[in-house]
Amino acid sequence: MTFDLRPIGLVESTLRDLQDAPPQGDEGAPEAWLVIEPRVADGLEGLAVGDRVVVLTWLDRGNRTVLRTHPRGDLTRPEQGVFATRSPDRPNPIGLHEVTVLSIDGLRIRVDHLEALDGTPVVDLKPVLGGVDER
Amino acid sequence: MTFDLRPIGLVESTLRDLQDAPPQGDEGAPEAWLVIEPRVADGLEGLAVGDRVVVLTWLDRGNRTVLRTHPRGDLTRPEQGVFATRSPDRPNPIGLHEVTVLSIDGLRIRVDHLEALDGTPVVDLKPVLGGVDER
């Protein structure tokens, strides 16, 4: 049984190289654009500047056969199962990135510190959940 | 361009019916088991009781053609784009569920309040990120 994931857009970033990517977005990743496909434009209605959003990406450079890895690529740390890490190498390399929407220009959404390489497929956007009172 | 998502396990839950599911897990969802497939068992190494984990599911009852919806299914609230909501109806119906690991029995992981129906495919597990200091 498999499911068919269809990107809704892609990342446009100055991050071009795995060596340049910080381990997590809040450790120095640059601002980036999410470029959304016209066929899902209606899905963006209600999204606003200042919103906190979880961007789901498909980390297409990840190695899907890896099940054990050194946390944060640090060879001095013992190997762990990939489900106990945020490694991009994992059976289904879905990336989760909490960002703030900085601006919206039609189908282009500017976000802060996104640790995803230029060209990375975007597969979903969701609001960050606040407390129950805010819903 | 599409990607092939292969489940790593499934949810075993007393939630059998969409009508019974609360809008979010912290609004009364029951404990549940994640039943992980033997082929990815090595990926669990290092996962421990008490860990906070993001469970990624494939919400296979979601309607993938929906782009606008009433938030929380409430018809008195105006329609919004699905990317501004947590609706299970969306182009790629990936569910995000923050849970705590209650116990681990081989390939079976007990977690608290999971708002996913019995039989829902699990596609990934990741640790919840703490502050930069904890990494």
pLDDT tens digits, one per residue of B39-51: 999 999 999 999 9
Least confident residue range of A8-17, B25-34, B59-68, B94-103: B25-34
Give the nearest chain A residue to B48 (CA atoms).
A84
Q: C-alpha angle A21/A96/A28, rounded to 5°? A: 30
CB contact under 8 A, A45 and B6: no
Give the SS3 label for residue B35: strand
Query: Nearest chain A Cα to B8, which residue?
Result: A91
Chain mean pLDDT for chain B: 91
Phi and psi at residue A67, to the nearest 5°: -120, -20
Confidence class for position A77, pLDDT limits 50, 70, 90: confident
A-B C-beta contacts closer than 8 Å: 157
Identify the pLDDT of residue B71. 79
Q: Which CATH superfamily is domain A9-128 in?
A: YaeB-like (2.40.30.70)
Given pLDDT bands bounded at 50, 70 and 90, which one contains residue B131? low
CB contacts, 8 Å: B46 with chain A: 80-81, 84-85
Question: In three state form, how does the secondary structure of B8-22 look?
Answer: CEEEECCCCCHHHCC
A70: helix, strand or coil: coil
Count other Cβ atoms within 10 Å, centred on residue B53: 20
**Cβ atoms of A115 and A97 closer than 8 Å:** yes
The model carries a pTM of 0.91
What percentage of residues in chain B have a pLDDT greater than 90?
76
Asked if B44 lies within 8 A of A84 by C-beta distance, the reply is yes
Closest residue of chain B to A44, computed from CA coordinates: B81
Which of B120, B126, B129, B135 is most worth mutating to test chain A (most A CB atoms within 10 A of its CB)? B126
CB atoms within 10 A of CB A31: 15
Query: CA–CA distance from A60 to each of A119, B4, B60, B78, B113 (Å)?
Result: 9, 11, 23, 36, 31
Helices (H) and strands (E) in chain A, counts: 0, 9
How many helices and strands, by DSSP H and E, does chain B display?
Answer: 0, 9
Strands (E), A19-116: 32-36, 52-58, 68-69, 80-81, 94-105, 108-111
* Whether A126 contacts chain B with CB within 8 A: yes
H or E segment at A67?
A: none
